[in-house]
Amino acid sequence: MTSRGPVGTAALTLAVALGLGTLSPLPVARANEAAGTLAPLRTSATEARGAAPRLRVRTVVDGLAVPWDVQSIGGGRLLVTERDRARLSVVRKGQRRTVRFPGDRVWVSGETGLMSLAVDPAFDRTRRFWTCQGWQSGGGHDVRVSLWTLSGNARRASLVRHVVTGLPTTSGRHGGCRLLLDAGSKALYVGTGDAADPANPRTLTSLGGKVLRVHRRTGRALPDNPFIDAADPRQRLVWTYGHRNVQGLAQRPSDGSVVSVEHGSYRDDEVNALSPGADFGWNPGPGYDESVPMTDQSLPGEQTEAIWSSGDPTIATSGAAWVAGRGWGAYAGTLAVAALKAEELVFLRFDDDLALQQTRTPAPLRGLGRLRSVTRLPGGDLLVTTSNGSDDRILRVSPR
Ligand SMILES: [Ca+2]
Ligand SMILES: [Ca+2]
């Protein structure tokens, strides 16, 4: 595997002169490379869709500790999870209020705690939202997806039901877990981690190292799932497999396609274009040997290459959202990906067929600390959570 060379000096100078921020070397697009059609790098604003707007970054709320996810519940209010405190909060006008909820049942260990959130599009009427988190039960623990209702005064969350249980856990490493409500159906996608157990990603009866697709209320498999005829009911929930630790899921508004974002080992963070039944090729060896490729083509059957890969070293990609809405200009239609280790928000442009066109990291989106999750607000602004461990913030990124 080779990395594509850096952008030419002339192009870089042009980009800087145009105020585009720094153009990064194009990471390996292995699927394209294999086909011999690596797309040219766009180098000027005139080739992009309009000019790149200046970006404004504001702090929405501070004083948090590892806020894992944030979602709007309307009325200027945000629902926020904090992983290690297992705390659920509502934030409005910069003020945070704790929501009463059984946080003492949440299993917190290492990378696992109170993690992703999804909010019912009909929240105004239903008051419903979903979380995924570590959970203690019967002396053991798992990661599970749970459906809640928020009280009218937003002070208390009541469990409706656990929608999916039994996502595997070990030490808390690689606990996933990302939720995404499908825009066009009743499906809920659940991105899971492999729990640092080498058997999980390719064992179709394990819920670890997968993207699951379930009915959002019942947690049942959907009739068009790829393994719906499997004998084991867990396998019927599987949409894709061979994942390491899915940290992001995002659905492109233009065509409904869903991508996952996952952490690489020492190399190759990945953005993957999901298709039913696809194998994404992570198969750590005995003893969780992580020296194997992130997409190991030597495995039986077909393995699907990433549509973007960090190469070596990784940047520790996490959450992502597609950029849409007024004012985004040249950034419209890109995938905004948060990076923990690189402490930046990266915009990836793909063409209609999800072939990589360009990567761009605007200067205002660098050096903001470790970034965890990206959420697109109804108007198009992005919310980004930091993940430094203390004095964490929720940031709002807007085009000026
Ligand atoms: Ca892979
Ligand atoms: Ca193969």
Q: What is the DSSP string of 158-224?
A: EEEEEEEEEE--SSSTT---EEEE-SSSSEEEEE-B-TT-TTTTT-TTS-TTEEEEEETTT-PBPTT
Distance from residue 211's CA to the centre of ligand 2 (Å): 20
Phi-psi region of 298 (alpha: psi -120 to 50; beta: other; left: phi over 0): alpha
Look at residue 47 in the predicted model and tell me its pLDDT. Answer: 41
Distance from residue 48's CA to the centre of ligand 2 (Å): 37
Q: Which ligand is nearest to the CA of 267?
A: 1
Residue pair 280/270 in contact by the 8 Å Cβ criterion = yes
Strands (E) located in 281-367 = 308-309, 317-322, 335-339, 344-350, 356-361
Distance from residue 293's CA to the centre of ligand 2 (Å): 12
Q: Which ligand is nearest to the CA of 242?
A: 1
Distance from residue 262's CA to the centre of ligand 1 (Å): 9
Look at residue 167 in the predicted model and tell me its pLDDT. Answer: 98
Distance from residue 19's CA to the centre of ligand 1 (Å): 34
Look at residue 50 in the predicted model and tell me its pLDDT. Answer: 76
Q: Which ligand is nearest to the CA of 243?
A: 1
Which segments of the chain have a pLDDT < 50? 1-48
Q: Which residues crowd ion ligand 1, with CB under 5 Å? A: 280-281, 294-295
Distance from residue 299's CA to the centre of ligand 1 (Å): 12
Q: Which ligand is nearest to the CA of 274?
A: 1
Look at residue 42 in the predicted model and tell me its pLDDT. Answer: 42
Which residue in 61, 63, 80 sits closest to 71, CA to CA? 80
Distance from residue 274's CA to the centre of ligand 1 (Å): 11
**CA gap 338, 72 in Å, rounded:** 18
Residue pair 67/40 in contact by the 8 Å Cβ criterion = no
CA atoms within 13 A on the CB side of 168: 22
Look at residue 36 in the predicted model and tell me its pLDDT. Answer: 32
Look at residue 49 in the predicted model and tell me its pLDDT. Answer: 59
Residue pair 261/249 in contact by the 8 Å Cβ criterion = yes
**CA gap 378, 225 in Å, rounded:** 29
Q: Which ligand is nearest to the CA of 30?
A: 1
Distance from residue 259's CA to the centre of ligand 1 (Å): 12
Distance from residue 389's CA to the centre of ligand 1 (Å): 28
Distance from residue 305's CA to the centre of ligand 2 (Å): 11
CATH class for the domain made up of 21-399? mainly beta
The vertex-387 CA angle with 256 and 354, nearest 5°, equals 25
Distance from residue 40's CA to the centre of ligand 2 (Å): 28
Predicted structure pTM score: 0.89
Q: Which ligand is nearest to the CA of 283?
A: 1
Distance from residue 296's CA to the centre of ligand 2 (Å): 7
Look at residue 400 in the predicted model and tell me its pLDDT. Answer: 87
The vertex-388 CA angle with 385 and 394, nearest 5°, equals 20
SS3 394: strand
Q: Which ligand is nearest to the CA of 300?
A: 2
Distance from residue 2's CA to the centre of ligand 1 (Å): 16
Look at residue 11 in the predicted model and tell me its pLDDT. Answer: 36
